[in-house]
């Protein structure tokens, strides 16, 4: 089982990984900085090789509803977009979560709000982890920090999506989507022929009709359904937390960062230590479920935490909740599409905690 080594953009790696993972359908719409995903797929033309459907929809709204339709048939389907387009998809995402359907939504985040900018940002954290769409639901959110992870998380996303019958979001950003790195690609996996028993495949005489819906006008039943979803999310919080630690064993100050910010903070940890500051980095890989327990543990060992995000401060709220008052927590981040520099992070760490 040889892996193929290539030099690719993050966006391209997602597309290639999707073909190899046996994805059945991709429905998307152009928007910077992720248009390469659909361009790559159209050029690769997997309809000829694996039978994968690639369709440019008339809007992000149409695309997410196509994902809903395909997911309802039990197929591995996905879409991708960037912040403003993800806002358009929120209705569809809520419906997908409410109908308990599996799918992958890739968000290559750009600066906002509104039309914003095309440069990278991390200002969709709230949108991804706290809702975005209406109602009580959660997306499983995976945050890649490299081109390799953008590729690897495609298959992982579908595993989680089908395991829990829940939509999964890959929250990348414009830097990782556009940068080129080495990536090891897995061999091709065949598309799955059999559908789950809940899928709409046409009603045979051997079962009742399958109905994919999120509607129930009976409040008692709807409450029971919401309780069922809560239990699912609790199970996900139990079993699916993923994170990475860098030099945390003796850390006195903890940087919490994901994606591009984590890459920057890795350098910041080195720079800080050169200056005698014992910094460490915790990189959440799943933003939902958030590594609450681990951060709470580390709060017992460090003097303070700095949430480093390219935003006005969104993940910092989850860090505060996890720390639960044990130690001070601050946020540092550039906005508007500006990528934080490692030196800026160290300066912020010093000014917030060491008064230097």
Strands 253-256 and 25-28, bridge-based pairing:
unpaired
Binding another protein by CB under 8 A: which of 114, 215, 218, 300?
Answer: 215
Does 99 interact with another protein (rule: CB under 8 A)?
yes
In 3D space, the residue among 181, 192, 147 whose CA is nearest the CA of residue 17 turns out to be 147
Residues numbered 194-213 forming contacts with another protein, rule: CB under 8 A: 200-205, 209-213
What 8-state DSSP symbol labels residue 336? Answer: T
**Given the complex with another protein, which of 216 and 238 has the nearer CB atom?**
216
In DSSP terms, which residues pair with 105 in a beta bridge?
79, 169
Does 193 interact with another protein (rule: CB under 8 A)?
no
**Ramachandran assignment for 218, one of left (phi > 0), alpha (psi -120 to 50 degrees), beta (any other):** beta
Q: How far is the CB of 231 from another protein (least distance, A)?
A: 23
Q: How far is the CB of 232 from another protein (least distance, A)?
A: 20
Binding another protein by CB under 8 A: which of 118, 163, 214, 301?
Answer: 214
Residues binding another protein: number (CB under 8 A): 38
Does 92 interact with another protein (rule: CB under 8 A)?
yes
Residue pointed to by tokens 């905690």: 353
Q: How far is the CB of 211 from another protein (least distance, A)?
A: 5
Does 42 interact with another protein (rule: CB under 8 A)?
no
Does 27 interact with another protein (rule: CB under 8 A)?
yes
Residues numbered 62-91 forming contacts with another protein, rule: CB under 8 A: 62-63, 65-70, 72-73, 75, 77, 91
Q: How far is the CB of 141 from another protein (least distance, A)?
A: 22
CA separation for the pair 306, 330 (Å, rounded): 5
Whole-Å CA distances, 326 to 206, 301, 304, 310, 329: 58, 10, 9, 25, 9
**Given the complex with another protein, which of 213 and 220 has the nearer CB atom?**
213
CA separation for the pair 210, 199 (Å, rounded): 6
In 3D space, the residue among 271, 174, 182 whose CA is nearest the CA of residue 281 turns out to be 271
Residues numbered 219-278 forming contacts with another protein, rule: CB under 8 A: none
For 41-74, the DSSP string reads: HHHH-TTTTT--EEEE-SSHHHHHHHHHHHHHTT
The footprint of another protein (CB under 8 A) covers: 24-25, 27, 53, 55, 57-59, 61-63, 65-70, 72-73, 75, 77, 91-92, 95, 99, 200-205, 209-215
């Amino acid at each position: 089982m040889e892996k193929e080594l290539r030099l690719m953009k993050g966006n391209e790696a997602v597309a290639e990984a999707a073909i190899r993972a046996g994805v059945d359908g991709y429905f998307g719409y152009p928007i910077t900085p992720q248009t390469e995903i659909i361009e790559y797929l159209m050029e690769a033309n997997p309809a000829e090789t694996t039978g994968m459907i690639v369709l440019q929809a008339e809007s992000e709204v149409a695309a997410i509803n196509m994902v809903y339709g395909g997911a309802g048939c039990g197929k591995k389907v996905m879409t991708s977009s960037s912040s403003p387009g993800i806002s358009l998809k929120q209705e569809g995402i809520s419906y997908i979560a409410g109908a308990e359907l599996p799918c992958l939504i890739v968000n290559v985040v750009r600066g906002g709000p509104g039309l914003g900018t095309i440069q990278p940002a991390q200002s969709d954290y709230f949108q991804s982890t706290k809702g975005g769409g209406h109602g009580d639901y959660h997306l499983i959110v995976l945050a890649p920090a490299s081109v390799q992870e953008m590729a690897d998380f495609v298959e992982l996303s579908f595993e989680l999506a089908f395991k829990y019958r829940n939509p999964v979001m890959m929250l990348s950003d414009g830097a990782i989507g556009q940068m080129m790195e080495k990536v090891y690609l897995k061999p091709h996996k065949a598309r799955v022929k059999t559908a789950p028993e809940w899928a709409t495949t046409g009603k045979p005489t051997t079962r009742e009709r399958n109905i994919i819906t999120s509607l129930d006008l009976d409040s008692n039943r709807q409450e029971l359904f919401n309780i069922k979803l809560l239990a699912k999310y609790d199970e996900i919080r139990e079993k699916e937390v993923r994170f990475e630690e860098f030099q945390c064993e003796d850390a006195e100050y903890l940087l919490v960062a994901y994606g591009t910010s984590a890459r920057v903070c890795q350098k910041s940890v080195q720079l800080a230590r050169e200056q005698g500051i014992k910094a460490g980095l915790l990189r959440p890989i799943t933003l939902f479920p958030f590594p609450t327990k681990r951060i709470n543990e580390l709060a017992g060992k460090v003097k303070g935490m700095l949430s480093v995000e390219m935003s006005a401060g969104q993940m910092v709220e989850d860090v505060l909740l996890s720390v639960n008052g044990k130690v001070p927590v601050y946020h540092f981040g550039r906005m508007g599409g500006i990528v934080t520099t490692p030196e800026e992070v160290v300066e912020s760490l010093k000014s917030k905690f060491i008064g230097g």
